[in-house]
């Protein structure tokens, strides 16, 4: 069943209302927005497509997309030898921070990146003769 243009327009307005104050859609907000879309008769995939389109057009940040960008970067860095060094980690952190428009505090971003690395079994290059325990220090 096709959804009317009026319903889509109402959904877009609902999205804009949810991000009015911070221009950022975290996962909880995304779920809330999608639930509203389903109540209006949209499918989940259609709702996600509209959210992404609105985010692209209005310059909104999506937590899901920011995480994916950071994860892709870490995967690329770990691709050579299965390890991520401190500079590579900091580069991924900078991209994550930028993609999330600074809405997530840096310590939380570091914890999330560390969790991504652990989930994907990517190791950190740390220590060595003059190295530090930068990765182990992330709590």
Residue indicated by tokens 């995967």: 75
133 Cβ contact partners less than 8 Å away, ≥ 6 residues apart: 126, 127
Tens-digit pLDDT profile for residues 47-91: 999 999 999 999 999 999 999 999 999 999 999 888 999 999 999
52 Cβ contact partners less than 8 Å away, ≥ 6 residues apart: 62, 65
CA 38, chain centre distance (Å): 23
Q: Rounded CA gap, 115 and 24, in Å? A: 22
The pLDDT, as a whole number, for residue 1 is: 52
The pLDDT, as a whole number, for residue 3 is: 76
Q: Rounded CA gap, 68 and 65, in Å? A: 5
- What pTM was estimated for this model as a whole? 0.83
Asked if 127 contacts 115 with a C-beta cutoff of 8 angstroms, the reply is no
User: Left (φ > 0), alpha (ψ -120 to 50) or beta: where does 59 sit?
Assistant: left
The pLDDT, as a whole number, for residue 128 is: 65
């Amino acid at each position: 069943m096709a959804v009317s243009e009026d319903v889509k327009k109402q959904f877009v307005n609902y999205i804009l209302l949810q991000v009015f104050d911070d221009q950022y859609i975290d996962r909880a907000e995304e779920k809330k927005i999608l639930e509203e879309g389903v109540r209006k008769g949209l499918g989940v995939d259609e709702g996600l497509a509209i959210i992404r389109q609105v985010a692209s057009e209005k310059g909104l940040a999506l937590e899901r997309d920011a995480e994916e960008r950071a994860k892709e970067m870490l995967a690329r860095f770990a691709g050579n030898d299965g390890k991520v060094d401190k500079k590579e980690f900091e580069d991924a952190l900078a991209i994550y921070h930028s993609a999330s428009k600074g809405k997530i505090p840096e310590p939380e971003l570091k914890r999330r990146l560390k969790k991504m690395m652990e989930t994907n079994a990517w190791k950190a290059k740390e220590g060595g003769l003059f190295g530090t325990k930068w990765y182990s220090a992330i709590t």
